[in-house]
Structure 1
Amino acid sequence: MSYLSPKEFVTKMIDAGESKVFMSTRDTLIRAYMAGAILALAAAFAVTINVQTGQPLAGAVLFPVGFCLLYLMGFDLLTGVFTLTPLALIDKRPGVTIQGVLRNWGLVFIGNFAGALTVAVMMAIVFTYGFTTAPNPVGVAIGHIGEGRTVGYAAHGAGGMLTLFIRGVLCNWMVSTGVVAAMMSTSVPGKVIAIWMPIMLFFYMGFEHSIVNMFLFPSGLMLEGNFSIMDYMIWNEIPTVAGNLVGGIAFVGLTLYSTHARTAAKRNAHVAMVPAE
C-alpha cells in the first residue's frame, strides 16, 4: 500500500521532528541552505511566468515544483520545522528539549536566509546584466512586490500588521499541510500530488511565506524597490515568521497530534444509545 493511515503518518511526523532536533549543525545548515536556494529559484520562476503571461494562476500552478524538489531531496524549511520539531518535545522523546528545538529553528533560519539571499544576488545580476542596466520587467515586478508587501501594509497601521500576521498563519497552515500530506504516501507521484495542491493555494492567495520573502525582499531592494531594510524586517519578515510559527503548530502539528497520536477514549456505545430524558 502506498497510503499510510493518519496514525501512521503522524508517527512519522514525530520521528521526523526528533531526527531534526538531533541533526548535526553542519547537516542542518547545508539542508536549510539548499532549501532556501531552491525555493528562491521557484519564486523567481513563478514571478517570471506571471510577468510574461499576465496570468497569476499560471505562476501559482507551477511554483510548487520548488517545494517538491526540496522535499524529495530531504532539505529543510523553517516553516516545516516549526510544525515537526515541537511534536517530538510534546511527545517527550528522550533528549528532546526546548533548547534543542530552538537551536534547530535558529540554524534553519540562518541556512534558509543564506540560500535565499544567494539566489537573490544571482537573480538581481541576471535581471540587470550585472547591475549595468535598469532591471528588466521581471526585476521591476519583484521590486513592486517588495513595496506593496511592506509599506503597503504599513499604510494601514495596526490593521495592516494584523493582516500580515494572519496571512503568515494561513500560509503555513497550507505549507505544512503539504509537507505532512506528503508523508501519507510512499510513492513519489503520491507525494508530489499531496504537496502540490496546498502550495498552489497559498501562492495564488498571496499568503506570506517567510522563506519566499527572504528572496523577494532582498532582491527587491537590489532592484530599485522603494522600501528599506527596516521596512522589510518590521513590516514583513518578523510578523511573517511569527504567523508561520502559529499556523504550523496550531493548525497542523497540534491538531493532527492531538487527534491521531493522542486520540481520546471512544464513547461507550451503550451510553450513547440511551435516549436523553
Structure 2
Amino acid sequence: MRAFRVAYDGRPFHGFQRQPDVPTVEGAVFDALADLGVAEGTPAGYAAAGRTDAGVSAAAQTVAFECPDWLTPAALNSELPASVRAWASAEAAEDFHATHDAAYREYVYHCYAPDADLDRAAEALSELRGEHDFHNLTPDDENTVRDLRAEVRREEGYLVYTLRAGGFVRELVRRVVSLVRAVATGDAPPGKVETVLGPDPVEGPEGVAPAPAYPLLLADVGYPELEFEPDPDAAASAREAFGALGAERATAARVARGIADRL
C-alpha cells in the first residue's frame, strides 16, 4: 500500500469524488492510473482523505492504494493534467485507510473582507473553538458534533482562516467563515454566534449560508504513522504548475482592477 500527497486547483472540477460525465479530481487520478496500466476503475485498497466540494483546492489531499513499486509521484504526474500534481509518497501498512486513519484535517480559507474588523472576527471565532454541536452550520442532520481549532489573521484586504478538526461535516468551514465575516463587518450582531451554537434550529433568512467554495484550500491531513517523502521532480513540477497559475490569475486581477478604475 502506498499513500500519495496530491495538490490540485479545484476550480476546473466538479469536486473531488468521481462522478459520471463531469470532470473530477478523483476521475483524473483514476484515468491516469488506467493510462499507466496500474488499474482500471477503482484501485485495490483505494481510499482518499476526504471529498472536497466543487471549486475547493488542495495542497495535501491524500490517496492510498495498492500499486507497483515503480509508481512514483513523478510517474503518476506523467498522465495527470497540470492542475493535478502528486508530489510526495509514503509506504503504508496493508490495512491503512486514508479516510479513517487521518488524525486531523486542516483547511485554510482566504476571505476578501477589507471592511471587516479583525478583533471582532477573532472574538467571534473564539466562541466557535472547542467541542460544539454545529447542526446550524451544516446541511447534515446527524453526527454534527465536532472539536474545532480555529485561528484568523489579517493579510492585506483578506481575513485568512485556519481551521483544524479530526473531521468536518459538510460546509462547516464555509459557514463558519460566513458567520464570522458577518459579525466582523457588522452585518450580524456578536450574539448571533451564541444563537447559532444553541440547540434550536436557525433557518431561513436567519440561517448561515456557506461562503463561496473557491477560496477554500485543504492545506494538510495528518497521519502520525506515515513519513511522506517528497519526490524532487514531482514537487518541482507542482511548484511550476501552480506558480504559473498564480501568475495568470494575478495578471487577470490586474486587468479587472484596470477596468474598474476606468469606470
TM-score, structure 2 length as denominator? 0.24
* Structure with the higher strand share, 1 or 2: 2
* Structure with the higher helix share, 1 or 2: 1
- Structure ranking higher on relative contact order (CA contacts 8 Å, 6+ apart): 1
TM-score, structure 1 length as denominator? 0.23
